[in-house]
Amino acid sequence: MLNIRRPRRNRKSEAVRAMVEETKVTTDDLIFPLFLIDGKNKKVEVASMPGIFRLSSDLMLKEVEECLRLGIRAFDIFPAVEDQFKDVHATKSYDSNFFYLKTLKEIKQRFPEACIITDVAMDPYSSDGHDGLVKDGKIVNDETLEILGKMALAQAETGIDILGPSDMMDGRVGYLRQVLDQNGFTEVSIMSYTAKYASGFYNPFRDALDSAPKFGDKKTYQMNPANRTEALIEAELDTAEGADFLMVKPALAYLDIIRLLKDNSNLPIAAYNVSGEYSMIKAAAQKGWLDGERVMKESLLSIKRAGADVILTYFAKEFAALNKT
């Protein structure tokens, strides 16, 4: 039998493979999450995230500058808050004199071309370690929104570009949009953590911020990993409430959810390639079990191929440096 169709003809050389390549990842697709700590000239490696550091404001400015030269233009900045500054109501989250807000303002003044994204949730500042206000052992929804509103407004006042509500409280996108608009911040975007699952892949991140819950878990507000249709409900609500981006978190174990939202929404879809996904690859590469560079690229490609327009990843700087050479 004559074999007329031979797909291998389009794989026969690097040049041909490049011509027919369907999916490409570039630095324009990437957001680099960064961890900020108080003080000066401090650089502390996260033990469970090889190559990722908590940086004081002076070194954070240098990191942003270096990344901009590599072609990374978007940064999601998270604060690591010492226990002495944490309380039940997360009051430091909207204190304009606190190091996080002061540094955000400085970054935007120094690098106006950088896109700065912030995290809106109580857990970095909460003595309970939860994303919402705790009352009688329960996470209360509507009272949490008031705190998130103060936090979002304080962050917007620093000049940042995009807010990232990661708390998973019901109605928070609409509430934050109203607070922003009423205070003249109509151009500040909202990248909603739309489908944020109660995942086991977050532990290294919680190590980085020392933000693990002091009791229980987050299953009453983060989504059940078994659920798919629920992501569509969350996407519908966030869109109606004024979100500008919809996010899926984690990424690699939820590629089907990325595709589901991409197929059912006209908004840009973001995916968070989370700390545990990063650390697994790094640990295996250090053991010599995987080609770390190759698997990093393959992982990012899979997230983009699944439908993500934007990828938050701790590999961003490494990827950019490899593609610069």
CATH code for the domain of 186: 3.20.20.70
234 is in an annotated binding site: yes
Hey, what are 114's tokens?
């950088």
Note the pLDDT of residue 211: 66
Report helix, strand or coil for 182: helix
Domain count, the chain: 1
pLDDT digits over 67-81, tens only? 999 999 999 999 999
Residue 140's φ and ψ, nearest 5 degrees, are -90, 140
Is 231 within a domain? yes
When pLDDT is cut at 50, 70 and 90, the band that residue 323 belongs to is: confident
Residue range(s) defining the domain that contains residue 63: 25-324
* 325 pLDDT above the threshold of 70: no
User: Would you say 168 and 145 are in contact if contact means Cβ atoms under 8 Å apart?
Assistant: no
When pLDDT is cut at 50, 70 and 90, the band that residue 208 belongs to is: confident
Q: Residue 249 catalytic?
A: yes
Is 201 within a domain? yes
Is 150 within a domain? yes
The pTM of the full predicted model, rounded to 2 decimals, is 0.95
Is 19 within a domain? no
Burial of 97 per CB tally in 10 Å (0-12, 13-18, 19+): exposed
* 1 pLDDT above the threshold of 70: no
* 42 pLDDT above the threshold of 90: yes
For residues 178-199, give the mean pLDDT: 98
Better-predicted residue by pLDDT, 316 or 206: 316
Return the exposure string of 45-70: e unless at least 16 CB atoms fall within 10 Å of the residue's CB, then b. ebebbbebbbbbbebbbebbeebeeb
Is 245 within a domain? yes
Q: Which of 196, 218, 262, 317 is catalytic?
A: 196
Note the pLDDT of residue 206: 73
* 319 pLDDT above the threshold of 90: yes
pLDDT digits over 275-304, tens only? 999 999 999 999 999 999 999 999 999 999
Is 248 within a domain? yes
Note the pLDDT of residue 324: 78
Hey, what are 50's tokens?
């090889």
For residues 191-207, give the mean pLDDT: 91
When pLDDT is cut at 50, 70 and 90, the band that residue 120 belongs to is: very high
Is 200 within a domain? yes
Is 265 within a domain? yes
Chain mean pLDDT for the chain: 95
Q: Which of 86, 92, 249, 317 is catalytic?
A: 249
Burial of 5 per CB tally in 10 Å (0-12, 13-18, 19+): exposed
Name the percent of the chain in helix, strand, coil, to the closest 5.
45, 20, 35
- As a whole number of angstroms, the distance between CA 167 and CA 189 comes to 17
- As a whole number of angstroms, the distance between CA 23 and CA 253 comes to 19
Largest CA distance in the chain: 77
User: Would you say 312 and 272 are in contact if contact means Cβ atoms under 8 Å apart?
Assistant: yes
Distances (CA, A) of 154 to 113, 122, 144, 204, 211: 21, 14, 16, 27, 21
* 207 pLDDT above the threshold of 80: no
pLDDT digits over 83-112, tens only? 999 999 999 999 999 999 999 999 999 999
What is the number of alpha carbons within 13 Å of residue 227 lying toward its C-beta? 15
